[in-house]
Amino acid sequence: MQACNAFNFVCTPLYDSLGDDTVEYVVNHAEIKAVFVHPRSAKNLAVAYPKCECLKYVILMTDGASAEKAALEGAGKPP
């Protein structure tokens, strides 16, 4: 968050309790281009990810655990 502040970026939290529809709405409404996600939340984001048109970068905060990474990669996006 401090890095965002240093570069005048806006930090928009996406809480696990919001649900898939709300995550999709917030990401699209705020035109979020990048998300930092904890492995516990990766599967929740994977559900909304294909419908998040502006979202280009998902940074998974892990050492590369395959299950979470596979969930995001498998979510894909429509052309």
Residue 13: what residue type?
Answer: P
Residues with Cβ within 8 Å of 78's Cβ and at least 6 positions away in sequence, in order, are 50
pTM for the full predicted model: 0.70
User: 50 pLDDT exceeds 60?
Assistant: yes
- In the structure encoding, which two tokens stand for residue 38, read together? 């904890």
pLDDT (tens digit per residue) in 29-48:
999 999 988 888 888 888 88
- At 49 the three-state DSSP class reads helix
Phi and psi at residue 36, to the nearest 5°: -95, 125
What is the share, in percent, of the chain residues with pLDDT greater than 70? 87
Domain boundaries, the chain: 2-75
- In the structure encoding, which two tokens stand for residue 7, read together? 């570069």
Sign of CA dihedral 46, 48, 50, 56: negative
- Look at 63 and 48; give whichever has higher pLDDT: 48
